[in-house]
Amino acid sequence: MRPLTYLACALLVMGLAFWAYRENYRTQAALGEMSQVQREIAQLREDLGVLRAEWAYLNRPDRLRELVDLNFDRLQLIPREAGQVMDLGHIDYPKPPAPQPEVASESSGNPAAPQE
C-alpha cells in the first residue's frame, strides 16, 4: 500500500509541476501581450496629440478669415454678428401632421384578414 501512495504522490507532484510550468508560460505570454497593447496605446495617444495640434493649426482664425476672403465669390460667407443668434424658443417649428383615422374594411370585420 505504501508504494502505491508514493506513486500517487509522485504523480501528483509531477502533475502540479506541469501545471505550474504551463501557467508560468501563459502568464509570460499575457504580460508580453499587455506590454504590446500599452505600447500601441502610447503610440495612438501620441498620434492623437499630433492630430489635435494639426487641427488647431488649421483652424486658426486668421487662416480661416483668409480662406473666406479668397472664396467669397463662391461661398459668400459673412461674419456672424450678435444679433443673428436667438433662443430656440423663438423658432416657430412646423406642427406635426394630424393622424389619419383608420378606415375599417367593409367586407370583413377584421382589417388584418387577407382579402380574397
**Integer Cα distance of 66 and 56 in angstroms:** 16
In a domain, 86, yes or no: no
In a domain, 11, yes or no: yes
| Span 47-87, pLDDT tens digits | 999 999 999 999 999 998 898 888 888 888 887 777 777 78
pLDDT at 38 over 60: yes
The answer to whether the beta carbons of residues 30 and 24 sit under 8 Å apart is no
Q: Residue 10's domain spans which residues?
A: 2-79
In a domain, 73, yes or no: yes
In a domain, 97, yes or no: no
- Residue 37 has a pLDDT of 97
In a domain, 108, yes or no: no
Q: Cell numbers at residue 86, please?
A: 436667438
In a domain, 85, yes or no: no
Number of domains in the chain: 1
Return the HEC string of the chain: CHHHHHHHHHHHHHHHHHHHHHHHHHHHHHHHHHHHHHHHHHHHHHHHHHHHHHHHHHCCHHHHHHHHHHCHHHHCCCCCCHHHCCCHHHCCCCCCCCCCCCCCCCCCCCCCCCCC
| Span 86-105, pLDDT tens digits | 788 888 888 888 888 887 65
In a domain, 31, yes or no: yes
In a domain, 113, yes or no: no
The answer to whether the beta carbons of residues 53 and 45 sit under 8 Å apart is no
